Each structure stands twice: as structure tokens, then as C-alpha cells.
Amino acid sequence: MSRQPSIRTALPRAQPVGHASLRRANLSLVLRHLRDEGSCSRSDVADATGLHRATVSSLMAELIERGLVRELGTARAGAIGRPRRAVALDGSHVGALGMEINVDYIAVHGIDLGGRVLVERRIGFDAMGEGPDRSLVELGRVARKAIAEMRRAGAAPGGIVVAVPGLVDIGPGVVTLAPNLGWDDLPLAERLRAELGGFRAPVGVDNDANLSALAEYTSGVAAGTPDMVYLTGEVGVGGGIMVGGRLLRGADGFSGEVGHLPVNPSGRRCGCGRTGCWETKVGLAALVRAATPDRAYERGAAAPPDPEVRVKEISRALAAGEPRTLAAVAEVGRWLGLGGSILVNLFNPRVIVIGGYFARLAERLIPPAQAELERLVVAGPAARCRFLASNLGFGAASRGAASMVVDHIMDDPAAIGFAPVARSSVGSV
């Protein structure tokens, strides 16, 4: 598994003090060492971490008890010396559940700590039409089913993170504003926890673009690229920004609202109420309006048009060489490059990963976008930044949500406050 630095996660964290705090930090240190280095002996861990051997033994006993580490049996280091028992991260008993609720679907991605995918599905659901109450009931139903399936596979979820397309106050897990869902000030974490009854592990909420950026960083086309921007190409446009291998949060957790960069002050009114935002030039609604004005999105329409259908229509028109569609896509590409150049001037990323509909039309969008970016970026070498199409599809945000849960467990293994299911292999020497 790739190395991954600690990130500020959306999951609530206990705030122990003094000795308890030190012990939790040491549990995390030992667990991360095992994840990064594979199997090793207790004395290897002591040497690598600088902890006393007795401390490592005590920490290891707790990690084994929590089902996070297992004994592998006896290994001899070299030809001489005492045989030493090796230990390894045991990913199979503890799970991580990532979910996403978006305008027209709910997605789930459940894995165990070893990265084995246990549940993965996308369910069509009109979240905007159903409203927050019915959406929460459905989210709870989908979560309960996924939890049951994960438990049957032997991995009890050690946490849930839900991705939402909007502004999220990650501390309390409140959706401050999700214009495309019609939600504001919705205490999603608390409400989902109530739907789940006795679920004891932490529940968190985060922005979909942030979580998609995390998925790209851990397993996408730009995996491991520490300085990277991810753009969601939907009706709205959001951004997740990785700086030095960390998700940029900002003072209040609201960084990355790149769709509302005011790039065209004399332009159209945006869904946010302001004028000339970047998404009024590059969002799917802008493309549809330019390519097929008779099919334009209408605000307040009873049923939002299916983005999949729109993208297929545009792809067909492109393949047929329809001039208005070709011109409209090239124009979106140029605006993509203009906004991209602002992001490059600000953050100097190595790549800008484009997801959603951008990825589907990447072949036509990237050439004009790249040319415009290179024309507008101030620092010459920064213009080496490349647009890349995401290949994670609609699963990116839920996948990122699951990896955030894994990171939370790695950060605070003591948060696993329950007996994991299926302990039969634990403790065998």
C-alpha cells in the first residue's frame, strides 16, 4: 500500500490529554509503520520508531486486541540470533465505509483496511426532488445494507464518511449549503447517526471534490502527486486542492470553491446568486446552453435533466462533427484553461485532474485548455502543469470517503472502540 501522510479528516476525534494522548499517538506511529513497511518484528518497530521495546510490546498487544495487527509466526533474522515473532497489519477485520449523495444518485464504497473492496454500488436517486428528509431515510437504508454486507464479509466499519456536493462544516458534520441539492444547514452526520440506530463508530461529512481529490491522490491517474488540483465537472464545478500531499482546508474548511471564481464579471448570473462565476462558463449547464440552446437547463425545473443523457447527446454531436457543438466544447476548453491558469498561479500544481463530464469530453477539452493555460500562467516552469482526465468515474468521491475513514483509523487506532467481527484468525501464532 502506498505511503500516505496524515490528513485532517471529517470524522470527529476524541481529544485525550497527557498520557492517553501520547499513547494514541504511539499506537498510530506503530500502525502506520506496519502499513508502510509490511511485516516486521517488535524490535524492528522499536528500532525504527525510537520507542522502548517494552512500550512497543504493550502497544502491539493493544493493536492485536483491537483486531488491527496479527502475529505471523516465527521469523529468524539472519543465520544467527534468537528467532523473533513477526507481526503485520491485519486489514481484514475492520472496514471503512465511504458514501456519496449527489443530485441524482447515492454511491457506496466499502473496503477493509487492507484495501479489499467489500461493497461498491451506485443507486439512482433524485435527491433534489425528494428533499432532505426522504434523502436521509434513503441514505440510512443504503448505509445499513452496506454495513450488514461488510459485517458478513468479516469487517465491521470503523467509521463512515459521506461526500456531499456543497459547503460542509466538517467539525459537526453539517452541510452549510448545497445549492444543487437544495439543502442548507443540514446536520447530516447527526441525522444519519440517528437513522443508523446503534452504530457506534464515528460518522463524518465532507465535500465531494475534496474526497475525489483524495481518491485521485491515493489511487487515480495522478496517484502520489503531492501538488494537484481536482475539478468536478458537473452542473456545478468544485475543486479539491492537494498541497504537499495534504488536502488544503483553509481557516473554515471552505477552500476549493473554485466554481465561483469571478472570471467574467459582466457575464451570467450564477446559481450562487453572484455574477460571472467560472461554473457559468465551464459547468455542464453552460456547455448544454451553448451547444443545444433548445435543451438548456432551466432553474427551478420540476425534474433536473439527466447529466448522463446530456453528455451522450453532446458526444454524439461531436462525433458527427456538428459545428455548433464543436465550437461550444472548444470555448469551454478555453475557459477551463483560463480558470486553470488562476489555480496554477495560486497553487503551482503539477497536474489538474478533471473529473465528471470534463473527463468524458477530455479529448476535445484538454487541447484548448492546455494552450490557454500555457498562455496565461505567469511563471514559465509552472505552465508544465498538465490537465489529466480522471479514470475513477462516478465512484471517486465515495472511494475518497472510504480512504478518509482508513486514514482516521490509522491516526487514532483507539477510536475502534468495539470488538470487530470474525476474530477467528486473530492471535494464532
User: Interface mask (CB under 5 A) for Zn ion, residues 203-242, using x and -?
Assistant: ----------------------------------------
At its nearest, how many Å lie between Zn ion and the CB of residue 355? 19
Number of residues that bind Zn ion (CB under 5 A): 5
Q: Write down the H helix ranges in 232-322.
A: 279-282, 284-291, 307-319
SS3 240: strand
Q: In sequence order, what DSSP letters do the residues of 43-96 get, joined into one string?
A: HHHHHHH---HHHHHHHHHHHHHTTSEEEEEEEE-SSSS-EEEEEEE--SSEEE
Which CB atom, from 278 or from 387, has the smaller least distance to Zn ion?
278
Considering only residues 108, 277, 287, 365, which one is a binding residue for Zn ion as defined by CB under 5 A? 277
At its nearest, how many Å lie between Zn ion and the CB of residue 299? 13
Helix (H) or strand (E) segment spanning residue 332:
helix 323-347
Which CB atom, from 259 or from 400, has the smaller least distance to Zn ion?
259
Which CB atom, from 272 or from 330, has the smaller least distance to Zn ion?
272
The answer to whether 272 contacts Zn ion (rule: CB under 5 A) is yes
**Candidate ranges 97-105, 138-146, 254-262, 359-367; the one touching Zn ion (CB under 5 A):** 254-262
Report the site for Zn ion in 297-316 (rule: CB under 5 A): none
CA 155/CA 425 separation, integer angstroms: 13
Burial class (CB in 10 A: 0-12, 13-18, 19+), 293: exposed
Burial class (CB in 10 A: 0-12, 13-18, 19+), 405: buried
The answer to whether 109 contacts Zn ion (rule: CB under 5 A) is no
Edge-first strand listing for the sheet containing 167-169? 167-169, 174-178, 183-186
Which residues does residue 70 pair with via DSSP β-bridges, in sequence order? 88
Which CB atom, from 16 or from 276, has the smaller least distance to Zn ion?
276
CA 429/CA 423 separation, integer angstroms: 14
Report the site for Zn ion in 117-136 (rule: CB under 5 A): none
- How many other C-beta atoms are found inside a 10 Å radius of the C-beta of residue 122? 16
At its nearest, how many Å lie between Zn ion and the CB of residue 129? 23
CA 85/CA 103 separation, integer angstroms: 52
Which CB atom, from 157 or from 259, has the smaller least distance to Zn ion?
259
The answer to whether 421 contacts Zn ion (rule: CB under 5 A) is no
**Candidate ranges 94-102, 268-276, 287-295, 420-428; the one touching Zn ion (CB under 5 A):** 268-276
At its nearest, how many Å lie between Zn ion and the CB of residue 260? 4
At its nearest, how many Å lie between Zn ion and the CB of residue 274? 5
The answer to whether 274 contacts Zn ion (rule: CB under 5 A) is yes
Report the site for Zn ion in 322-351 (rule: CB under 5 A): none
**Candidate ranges 171-179, 274-282, 288-296, 297-305; the one touching Zn ion (CB under 5 A):** 274-282
At its nearest, how many Å lie between Zn ion and the CB of residue 354? 19
Edge-first strand listing for the sheet containing 386-389? 246-247, 237-243, 228-233, 351-354, 386-389
Kindly state the DSSP code that residue 262 receives in the 8-state scheme.
B
Instruction: Say if residues 280 and 266 touch (Cβ distance below 8 Å).
Output: no
The answer to whether 46 contacts Zn ion (rule: CB under 5 A) is no
The answer to whether 260 contacts Zn ion (rule: CB under 5 A) is yes
Which CB atom, from 272 or from 422, has the smaller least distance to Zn ion?
272
Instruction: Say if residues 168 and 179 touch (Cβ distance below 8 Å).
Output: no
CA 60/CA 81 separation, integer angstroms: 22
Considering only residues 270, 361, 410, 415, which one is a binding residue for Zn ion as defined by CB under 5 A? 270
**Candidate ranges 272-280, 292-300, 399-407, 412-420; the one touching Zn ion (CB under 5 A):** 272-280
Which CB atom, from 241 or from 410, has the smaller least distance to Zn ion?
241
CA 169/CA 337 separation, integer angstroms: 30
Query: Which residues are at the interface with Zn ion (CB under 5 A)?
Result: 260, 270, 272, 274, 277
